[in-house]
Structure 1
Amino acid sequence: MELIDDPSKLHLLPTELWIKCWSYTSNWELRRLVRVCRYFCDICLPLLFQEQTVRTSYCDREGWISVAHSLHRGKLRLKKLQAAPHAAFVRYWRFQGTDDYESLEDDFPSVVNIGTVEETYLELLQTFVTSLGSFQNLRSLQMSYVELNRSVRRTLKALERLETLELSQCCVVGRTGPVLSLQEFKLGKWWETSTQREKGPLKIASARALRKLSLDSGHPRPFLDAYLTNPPSTPLHNLVSLHVTLKDSMIDQFRRFLCRCPQLLELEIESFLSAPPKKSLRATAIPRLHSFKGPRLLAAYFISDRPVTALELAHGSGFKNEHKPAKKDIPRDLTLISDAAPAVQSFAIRVLMPVASEVCAAITTHWPNLSELRLVLREVRIPRATVDTDGLDSDDDELLAELEAEPNEPAIDERAVELSDCDTLSTTSSPSWPNIVLRDDDSDLDGELEESVPVPKVLLPGSMYAYGQLFPFPQPRQAIEGSPRTTAELVDKLCAPSSSSDAPFLTLPTSLHSLHLIIHHLWHHFPHANRSSAFTIHNQHRVLLALEGQMADLRELDFGARSVWRRYGDVWTDVSSGAKIASMCHA
């Protein structure tokens, strides 16, 4: 503080140290640091502008005017940034486009001028595409719903410092063009217009410098063809991470592709195969693989005789006719996987709650020295009571009418929106320094920061301090019968009192340092499901104290939704909220 109070002493610390300090601050703080002095302004301006984002928002009948204004302000900000010297500070660009605005006039025919939203969005999109060449220091670019034509590819080729490119839901016009020298490339779903559809390989990223490659969905085969056709094929000596979607038509091609990746360390597979591969993977393919993420029935195929230490079973079973595995099949499959990779240290799996006990017991048996475990537990859907109209009598005519009533025809909306290039932009200004163009997502950072609540210096073992209140050690509840189906039942099962002869509900490796207990809630897919069963702060308190007694080396417990508890000495601290729980086993 003495240095900040006396600007003449600021240069006592090297500039690199100040940059390191302010790189961890938020935009809310950076916008205030630039006003401290000229020295801090020169340091913080590049940090404030290094990441730029344009997001499109949902448009409906009521809020279409505000959406149009938001898109117009984004276009004006982009034009101002393009012409300002701050464009040299931009390192990361994220443009999240949409195609939802194309159908607005059909979806809302009663809104006369709703087509203004699409017109404004197209102007914003065109401004973004034409301004890309202004950001010569750009390192990372993410784009969705942008047409990748030859002009855009030439612009990207001219960005000599571009290292990462992510394309999602993009229309590719022509498979040939300037090839980019990238370190990371992600190609999501893409398509070609009927008039421009071509055959042959899709050449976008050079194999020479590529380190990370992700081919999420769609048809990745044309991209793989770029490295396998016209032998001799180009080896990918620098590729260390690969994510790809497999289909029956490309399995043989993919095996050959892996032989071109001698340095591959991380492999992620999504599979839509109809049967297991007939030919085995060559022993010389991916010899250094240490991390695999993919279907459980394909895991052993790719990791056998390879030094895999991190394993995540995801994306179902891997085959079209076996998306819902039987309860008895998962422990059997884990046995096969453990024979292929006995040295796994980090393991992740997604299972239904009723089979969690059997799966955890199998994991502990096969990998007793596991240091990190991630369990994604899915709740079992409980049928929701429906309205029975057959039992209604004549006195319920009003209720029947309400159930069967159709929505009223919406009134005609003849409002017009005026978009002016003189619209006021949110800026931060100083007496003699240039205005700072803020991003759209900075508007919610204008409020004052909340003052932190002081934490008591001494906590009794088992007690919790959160949100300014002190909670005692939680009292155990009666154990439920049978297998848990919801989060509330799981918590009661985990925290139920047990005698010395009873085994805990979840048998976990005692060597665990990090445990991720993530709940896949019903209401992700069923909006009417009960949301009260989430891991509340009180349930986290109970579960943490119940699990730490089983694992003396446990240092981290993650409940998802930014609820991560870490133990420092004899106190557990929530890294997000700052809540604290005194350990029962390390007091």
Structure 2
Amino acid sequence: MDQPVPERSLDLVPTEIWILCWTLCSRRQIRRLSLVSKFFRSISLPFLFKDQSFNVAAVCIDLYRGNWVEHLHRLHRMAIRVERLVEPPFASLITSWKVTFGTEAPVGSQHKDIENIHLFDEMRIRVLNMFCKTLHRYPKLSSLDIQRNFVDTAFLITLVSLPELKHLKLHIPDKSPELYSGKNATISSESLQSLELSRDTLLLDGFGRGISLPNLVNLSIGTVRDTELFFAHIVDQFPLLESLAIESIHDTSPFPGLPRNCFPKLCSLTGPPSMIEALAPNRPICRAVMRQTWRMDHLVPIDDSKQARIALSRSSGPVTSLVLPGLILSLGLLSSVTDLFPDLRELTLRPARGGPVWRYGSRCGYFRTAETVEADRRLPVLCEETAFDGLPVDELSDAEEEAEAEVERTIAAPPKTNSGHMEWECIKTLIKWMSLGLFTLPPNIEVLHVDGSLLHEGISVDEEYRALAGLTRDFPTLREVRFLSSGWTWIRIRREETSTLWKADRIGCVRILLPNEGPG
């Protein structure tokens, strides 16, 4: 009589359960499960391999004779990983690369006391060359974030020629060598939708006039030095932009006049107030981020956002998300925001800070004595087969930290104060305004963030509790609150008739008891 074949219990688990595990588990838990089930491994592999990164600059930082061998082995493992990831099936699973190359200068010139430091530079060049040569072998690569000191036109052509590339972020430091001119090059991409560059010269000189990105809808530039030339270029090349962001403009000339019909689909705008004032009217702006305006002859920020706010209110679409720059906040300003943007759902306030800090001088090292230091003559053995042996325990361990037990604290929201009897001069912080019921916000506000630090000493958790209680009482639609540089965000997880439960990481939960609004 034949013995019945035992059923494999893992094969009886429905696919939905595996997908739920894949969604909720950490990477280490996924790794454990993938060792048990081939089916789960087939589900989890795309998740584990889709996002890749390496940081050569981090390996070069703080390099000295005491740790250079360890850093060399890290760089060696990095090179092997870059070479092996282009092999099947890994290359087809990767959809995102984030890489930081750092300086192009040889490291060996800074470490004359290490005899074989040339191995470090050779390994770094190996990583750089291998990545650049094999970039085209990732057929599903859709996102690329590159930080390096030099980019020429040939490399730009390679980047935008990737068939599935939708998002490209390229950061080149201001002090990097000049780009090769791309004005006569033909740079074209049908798939690229989002382009983020550290400065306008990358676009004007690197990509050049031959650029063709017909489907580009998101453009972000770190620094613009010539606004007239820049906008004349993008008006012609990218008429279908939906999102435009400029972090800073280093140009003292007036903002150039733009055609009224340019950028008809623009719905997200980030930049200094002068730019928002010029572009917001009659365009469907629904999200705006105003950047701070500084001038060299001022020690405080320039409050030039009033006209920009008025212009923004004349956009053709309802503004639902707004970030205000560093200002001296007042109750009048909050009332103005409420009146101008009644449909606002998300508001971020950035209280004024001190002026910019200008640092002069160069990087200093330790003074060397006349004492002769013996050269480090160690010659590390770099073996491809054993490169990943002996890794630190924390990189291989499956141990998970236990989550701390949540602590729930209950406080009562105070009754609303009659602001007519208050001395306005005594209201010195946003926190007091929130707790006393003086804060004015649009009626359907959902997210409130206060970035920066208004109080030099910061605010205590108890002060946050009181402010949260006041906001809960006055704005029932709020679901997310972040206070002054506290480092945590309060999320409303449940609202009941008489109370609201909020939660923040590392703090726990707090229950706000709502005041009785009935008679008596």
Other-structure match for 1:75: 79
CA distance in 2 between partners of 1:566 and 1:71 (Å): 41
Q: Does residue 1:87 correspond to 2:16, yes or no?
A: no
1:572–1:582 contact (8 Å) kept in structure 2 = yes
Partners of 1:105 and 1:115 within 8 A in 2: no
The residue number in structure 2 matching 1:60 is: 63
SS in 2 for 1:226: coil
Match for residue 420 of structure 2?
A: none
Q: Secondary structure at the match of 2:452?
A: strand
Unaligned runs of 5+ in 1: 171-187, 229-233, 384-405, 429-437, 464-478, 523-529
1:83–1:238 CA distance, 2 compared to 1 (3 A): closer
Partner SS for 1:102: coil
Q: Which residue of 2 aligns with 1:302?
A: 279
Q: Which amino acid aligns with 2:347?
A: L
Change (3 A) 1:143 1:333: closer
* Equivalent residues of 1:273, 1:320 under 8 A apart: no
Q: Label 1:508 to 1:521 Cα distance change in 2 as closer, same or farther (>3 A).
A: closer
Quote the Cα distance in structure 1 between the aligned partners of 2:234 and 2:368: 58
Q: 1:24-173 residue pairs with structure 2 within 5 A? A: 25-56=25-56, 57=58, 58-61=61-64, 62-83=66-87, 85-99=89-103, 102=106, 105-106=109-110, 108-145=111-148, 159-169=162-172
Query: Quick one: structure 1 residues 211 and 218, their matched pair in 2 at CA, closer, same or farther if it must change by over 3 Å?
Result: closer
Over 3 Å counting, the alpha-carbon distance change for 1:510 and 1:201 in structure 2 is: farther
Question: How far did residue 296 of structure 1 move?
Answer: 0.8
Which of 270, 275, 282 does residue 253 from structure 2 map onto?
A: 275
Asked if the contact 2:167/2:195 (under 8 Å) is kept, the reply is: no
416, 423, 442: which is aligned to 1:509?
442
- Relative distance call for 1:146 and 1:35 in structure 2 (3 A) is farther
Cα 1:239/1:582, change in 2 over 3 Å: same
Instruction: Kindly state the Cα deviation for residue 508 of structure 1 after the two structures are TM-superposed.
Output: 3.2
Query: Paired residue for 1:173?
Result: none
Please report the TM-score for the alignment, with normalisation by the length of structure 2.
0.76
Shift of 1:198: 3.8
The letter of the residue matching 2:255 is: P
Partner residue of 1:567 out of 468, 472, 492: 492
Are 2:446 and 1:557 aligned? Answer: no
Residue 81 of structure 1 aligns with an amino acid whose one-letter code is L
Structure-1 residue corresponding to 2:22:
22
Question: Are the equivalent residues in 1 in contact too, given 2:299–2:354 (CA < 8 A)?
Answer: no
Instruction: List gaps (5 residues or longer) in structure 2.
Output: 1-6, 358-365, 414-422
* CA displacement, residues 97-121 of structure 1 (integer Å, 9 cap, x when unaligned): 1117635633x55555544433322
Describe the SS at the equivalent of 1:200: coil
Tell me, yes or no, if the aligned pair for 2:152 and 2:206 is still in contact at 8 Å.
no
Structure 2: distance between partners of 1:198 and 1:255: 19
Counterpart of 1:347 in structure 2 is 322
Aligned partners of 1:55 and 1:96 also within 8 Å = yes
Q: Does 1:583 align with 2:512?
A: yes
Query: What residue in structure 2 maps to residue 338 of structure 1?
Result: 313
Moved more, 39-48 or 556-565: 556-565
**Counterpart residue number, 1:451:** 402
Contact in 2 for aligned 1:77/1:425 (Cα 8 Å):
no
1:583 alignment partner AA: I
Structure 2 vs 1, CA of residues 138 and 113 (structure 1 numbering), >3 Å: closer, same or farther?
same
Distance 1:251 1:205, change over 3 A: same
Identity of aligned residues (%): 21
Q: Tell me the equivalent position of 1:372.
A: 346
Structure 2: distance between partners of 1:345 and 1:6: 51
Is the contact between residue 82 and residue 130 of structure 2 (CA under 8 Å) also seen in structure 1? yes
Alignment RMSD (CA, Å): 4.3
Give the SS at the match of 2:35.
coil
SS at match of 1:316: coil
User: Counterpart in 1 of 2:288?
Assistant: 311
1:216 aligned to 192, 198, 205, which one?
Answer: 198
1:414 to 347, 363, 375: 375
Task: Write out per-residue CA displacement over residues 426-467 of structure 1, whole angstroms, 9 at most, x where no aligned residue.
Answer: 589xxxxxxxxx9x9x955735222234547x864459xxxx
d(CA) in 2 for partners of 1:417, 1:86: 33
**TM-score calculated relative to the size of structure 1:** 0.68
Query: 1:74 is paired with a residue of what secondary structure?
Result: helix
Corresponding residue for residue 10 of structure 2: 7
1:204 aligned residue:
187
**1:378-457 equivalent positions in 2, closer than 5 A:** 378-380=352-354, 409=369, 412=373, 414-415=375-376, 416-422=378-384, 424-426=386-388, 444=395, 446=397, 448-455=399-406
Aligned to 1:286: 263
> Are the equivalent residues in 2 in contact too, given 1:552–1:585 (CA < 8 A)?
no
**CA 1:253–1:447 in structure 2 vs 1: closer, same or farther (change >3 Å)?**
closer
Kindly state the Cα deviation for residue 516 of structure 1 after the two structures are TM-superposed: 1.0
Report the Cα distance in structure 1 between the residues aligned to 2:128 and 2:237, rounded to whole angstroms: 38
How far apart are residue 514 of structure 1 and its match? 0.7
* Most deviating of 50-59 and 536-545: 536-545
Q: Which amino acid is 2:31 matched to?
A: R
Letter of the structure 2 residue corresponding to residue 216 of structure 1 = S
1:334 and 1:49, CA in 2 relative to 1: closer, same or farther beyond 3 A? closer
Q: CA separation in 2, counterparts of 1:316 and 1:576?
A: 34
User: Using the alignment, how far apart are the partners of 1:100 and 1:156 within structure 2?
Assistant: 19
Compute the displacement of 1:374 (Å). 0.7
